[in-house]
Amino acid sequence: MQQGFVDLRLNGDHSGDESFWPSFTDIMMVIVLIFMLAMVTLLVKNIELVHQLRDSLAAERAATMQAHSTTDINTQLNMRLIRLEEEAAMLRMRLINLGEEHSRSVEQLKASEQQNSQLKASLHAISAERDSVLSEKRALESSSMELAATLQQRDQELQKRQQELALQQQQYQLRLAEIASLKNSNDTQVDRLSKLEAEYANLEIKYNKLIRPARSVLGKHVVLVRYHKQEGRLFMEIKSPSDADYVPVSGTELHKRLAGLQKEYGKKLYVRIIFPDDSGLSYTEAWNLTESLLSMYDYYYQE
């Protein structure tokens, strides 16, 4: 009698051949599982690639929208810059007209002052004449009615002249008030023009930052130009890398030297303008000097 379970298989001698098929089935199942795992892995990777592609497309669309937005902003800034330039030109013309009106008003004021001086002299002469006439009247009042009538007529003429003098003095005061009003208007227009020029300068700087790279001294030949004013006279100094210190020059010498440097270094010439704290120059004078000099010689404004 055997130990354990009874062997119920027929032909017990062929048990080794029958055990081959379950092993083969297990192997095929393992292969199928490996294939399914590989397919799942590929599907997951494809899903990740699809997500990455969608993210890339979304980022590209966002970048396109941002580029369009930047283009619109640049267009708006260009339009605003053009409007500000037109307003600045109109204000310059208005300032020129106001300057001419101011000159005419000053001339009128001088003429009025001269006329007032003449009137005062006439008043003194009339007062002296009146005093003389009054003394004559006192002396001759009792002697003749004809002289009395003459004196009365002279008194009337003197009163008319005094009235005319008072009217002229009133007109002179009115002219002085008009001139003061014109001066205030001129000062207001000058302040407005200065503010617009400052706003124009800021907008131009922002515009240049948006569409062009910033100025840089990297790889450039740097030349320093310094301005200051003393007793109403403008002084200029220049310093090249080869100079030990600033060299005083006249306006003609400054332009001649900068033209030579521009011819030698071309688009590598970097002009730096310096205004000391006690330069004595107004903002408008400094801006005009900077703009004219940089536009003629600096590399950044030649491109």
Output the 3-class SS for 120-134: HHHHHHHHHHHHHHH
Does residue 15 lie within any of the structural domains? no
Which of 190, 211, 232 is the endpoint of a domain? Answer: 211
Dihedral over Cα of 44, 49, 55, 58: its sign: negative
Asked whether residue 197 falls in the same domain as residue 130, the answer is yes
Range of the domain at 265: 221-301
In a domain, 20, yes or no: no
Distances (CA, A) of 12 to 6, 18, 19, 134, 153: 12, 10, 12, 176, 174
pTM for this model (two decimals): 0.34
Q: Are residues 246 and 194 in the same domain?
A: no
- For the record, the structure tokens of 49 come out as 């690639």
Burial class (CB within 10 angstroms; exposed 0-12, middle 13-18, buried 19+) of 269: buried
Residue 270 lies in a domain: yes
Q: What's the total number of domains in the chain?
A: 2
pLDDT of residue 153: 83
Q: Write the single-letter amino acid at 139.
A: A
Please indicate, yes or no, if residue 47 is contained in any of the structural domains: no
Q: Which amino acid is at 125?
A: A
Residue-level pLDDT, tens digit, the chain, 303 residues: 445 544 444 444 445 555 667 788 888 899 999 999 999 999 999 998 998 889 889 888 888 888 888 888 878 888 888 888 878 778 887 778 787 888 887 888 888 788 878 878 877 788 788 788 777 777 776 676 776 677 788 888 888 888 888 888 888 888 888 888 888 877 787 788 777 877 777 776 666 656 667 778 888 999 999 999 988 899 999 999 888 899 999 999 999 999 999 999 988 999 999 999 888 888 899 999 999 999 899 888 876
Q: What local confidence, expressed as pLDDT, does residue 20 receive?
A: 65
Residue 202 maps to a domain: yes
Nearest to 165 by CA among 121, 109, 107: 121
Q: Is residue 233 part of a domain?
A: yes
pLDDT of 71: 83
Residue with tokens 């730096």, as numbered in its chain: 272
pLDDT for the residue 152: 81
Position 144 scores a pLDDT of 65
